């Protein structure tokens, strides 16, 4: 056998042993890649769209107090923008505290309802209607809000001037009155909890100068068992510098307020320790900023 023939045979054998280079995907691989890619992109789009509230949420049996629709069941992402904007609006109002002839500003904040409302250890038993939202209080100008040292005094003055209080439905119910200058009421917020048929409904109404703002109001429902299984419940807790009924001394520093959060759920950190939080909207509202 000639040398050239033997070389040709060896070269052919080596070529047969080498794996063939692939220059393209097979048809099946292209189909699988397309399907997987569509699933990934679709999942991402669904998550973001659902968080933005573009998909229909599960509805409760209760009607929304405003608008023509049912109250969504948590996690109610459609209600989160209103809840966040409400916090921003309230924070802006709290920072407008330059009181003067040219700028009435913020002068007082009164939180009705909650623990220790009437003094140390004395919780609220009544509260004003959740539709009561005056744009101004003429009688307050004669007293001046700065002379009222507690929400209890403000509540008493409301009753003296004809506002009928109702029995407190839940320990988590509270109302916030922001007073500007001597008698203007730019913001009123009512937060209420109601239980029915194993479901809990939270409704937060915001009034701007006496008019309901649907853009700053929200509502949602969740199972009562879940609503009760939290460490930080919505509501208000008043903190007092002094409270002495014998000497009629009362000085309410302010209240810690926890707003209902439409997308927050209680959660377990671990089996040994738990952090059953509820809301990201926690504020301390001083009586006189």
pTM for the whole structure: 0.77
Query: Residue 119's pLDDT band (boundaries 50, 70, 90)?
Result: confident
What are the pLDDT digits (tens) for 56-82? 688 888 889 998 889 999 999 999 999
Q: Comparing C-alpha atoms, which of 255, 257, 260 is closest to residue 282?
A: 257
Helix (H, G, I), strand (E, B) or coil at 166: strand
CA distances to 15, 17, 20, 21 from 24, in Å: 20, 21, 12, 9
CB 253 within 8 A of CB 67: no
What are the pLDDT digits (tens) for 138-160? 999 888 887 888 899 999 999 99
Separation between Cα atoms, residue 217 and residue 65, nearest integer Å: 10
76 phi/psi in degrees, rounded to 5? -100, 85
Return the pLDDT at 241: 78
Cβ neighbours for 145, distance < 8 A, ≥ 6 positions apart? 107, 108, 154, 179, 182, 183
Query: Residue 54's pLDDT band (boundaries 50, 70, 90)?
Result: very low
């Amino acid at each position: 056998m000639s040398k050239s023939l033997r070389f040709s045979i060896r070269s052919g054998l080596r070529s047969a042993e080498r794996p063939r280079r692939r220059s393209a995907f097979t048809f099946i691989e292209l189909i699988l890649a397309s399907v997987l890619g569509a699933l990934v992109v679709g999942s991402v789009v669904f998550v973001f769209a659902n968080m933005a509230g573009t998909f229909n949420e599960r509805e409760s049996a209760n009607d929304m107090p405003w608008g023509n629709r049912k109250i969504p069941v948590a996690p109610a992402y459609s209600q989160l923008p209103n809840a966040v904007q409400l916090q921003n609006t309230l924070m802006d109002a709290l920072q407008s505290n330059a009181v003067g002839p040219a700028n009435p500003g913020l002068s007082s904040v009164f939180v009705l309802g909650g623990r220790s409302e009437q003094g140390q250890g004395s919780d609220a038993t009544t509260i004003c209607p959740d539709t009561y939202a005056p744009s101004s209080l003429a009688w307050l100008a004669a007293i001046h809000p700065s002379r009222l040292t507690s929400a209890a005094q403000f509540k008493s003055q409301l009753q003296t001037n004809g506002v009928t209080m109702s029995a407190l439905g839940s320990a988590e119910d509270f109302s916030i009155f922001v007073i500007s200058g001597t008698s203007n009421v730019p913001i009123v917020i009512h937060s209420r909890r109601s239980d029915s048929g194993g479901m809990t409904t939270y409704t937060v109404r915001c009034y701007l100068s006496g008019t309901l703002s649907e853009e700053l109001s929200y509502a949602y429902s969740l199972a009562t068992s879940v609503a009760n299984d939290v460490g930080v419940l919505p509501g208000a807790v008043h903190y007092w510098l002094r409270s002495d009924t014998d000497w009629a001394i009362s000085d309410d520093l302010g209240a810690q307020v926890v707003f209902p959060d439409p997308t927050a759920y209680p959660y377990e950190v671990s089996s040994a320790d738990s952090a059953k939080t509820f809301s990201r909207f926690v504020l301390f509202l001083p009586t006189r900023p």
